Structure 1
Amino acid sequence: MTITNLMQLPSGSDLRALFERPAAETGFFLTVEDRAGIEHLLRNSAARHAPNPPLLNEFLRHKLRISRGAPEPASPELVVAGCHVTYMISGEGSRSGVLTMSAAPAPGHILVASLLGATLIGMRKLQKSPLLREDGQIDIVVVLNVSAPPDHAAA
């Protein structure tokens, strides 16, 4: 299967069903630390600076509901806060950044308090998922690689 095939939505798909499938089908896994981090973001209104805070907050709550607990220690292929993730969004080239629970944007970081970050957390290498955009469009995101952040790679 090519990356191009991974990036296409099935024709006639029920988009709501794509987001509401149970964890056994979606395969999202959160570590205890990531679950606590998302709950902290929600308690402290970290999404208030997002383009659509109510949408992001509901998506984060939904992610908590549909995700299963990750075995500890987490697989090196699991997207967790603090990891460096390379991903591709349908119709675009590959990008990468460090996934962070911080509410403050920083160069090279992907905030969990964003629709992209909230989608990526809990995914695994080569997994694809619908990506809701702030403008209401839905794309597909696929995780291409997961690694320790560059400053921790030598440790």
Structure 2
Amino acid sequence: MTNTRITRLPAGSAFRSLFERSAVETGFLLTVDDRLGIERLLRHRRTRNSPNPPLLNGLLRHKLRISRGTLEPASPDLVVAGSHVTYMISGEGARSGVLSMNPAPVPGHILVASLLGATLIGMRKLQKVPLLRDDGQIEVVVVLDVRPSPDHAAA
């Protein structure tokens, strides 16, 4: 004779809240400012100087569709524009930079108007996701640390 344990599933709203929590933990979260910043990049064609604008635009639109909003102020482990991010791409060492909505390259900044920046925005510390490269290869990127940038910390 075997013992069968019956586990009761939460009903109604409790079940939905469990599902929503798991969706938040595995997906991307955008602040209102980040969502508006991405929309501005797309609307004003500020991605035109990237190596592959159609691919980047598609990724940014996809990020807008699949990302959920987050309560503000944002969690300190969330990658938002202006945060200093330390990340690692598979097979490479750790790197870092300040995530920026600026469409022009700035030393020490990771542009949201790049495949890397578009991937990082909305991620959380220790989250690991696929990273599409300009040459079409797919790597994995993981966020190792998120801090306020030195510019924002002084403010």
TM-score range, shorter chain: 0.7 to 0.9
2:5 corresponds in structure 1 to none
Q: In the TM superposition, what whole-angstrom CA distance separates every residue of 1:89-131 from its partner, at most 9, and x where no partner exists?
A: 0000000000000000010000000000000000000001100
Give 1:79's aligned amino acid. V
What are the equivalent positions in structure 2 for 1:125-140 lying under 5 Å apart? Answer: 125-140=125-140
Bigger relative contact order, structure 1 or 2 (CA pairs below 8 A, ≥6 apart): 1
Q: Could you report, residue by residue, the CA deviation over 1:63-101 in whole angstroms, capped at 9, with x for unpaired residues? A: 000000011110010000000000000000000000000
CA distance in 2, matches of 1:134, 1:122: 20
What do you get for the CA RMSD once the two structures are aligned? Answer: 1.5
| Partner residue, 2:86 | 86
- 3-state SS of paired residue (2:119): helix
Task: Mark the structure with the bigger radius of gyration.
Answer: 2
The runs of 5 or more residues in structure 2 that have no matched partner are 1-22
List structure 1 runs of 4+ shifted beyond 6 angstroms: none
TM-score by length of 2: 0.83
The number of residues matched between the two structures is: 134
- Alpha-carbon separation, structure 1, partners of 2:142 and 2:25: 16
Gaps of 5+ in 1: 1-22
Q: Which residue of 1 aligns with 2:45?
A: 45
Who is 2:121 aligned against? 121
Determine helix, strand or coil for the equivalent of 2:40.
Answer: helix
Identity %: 77
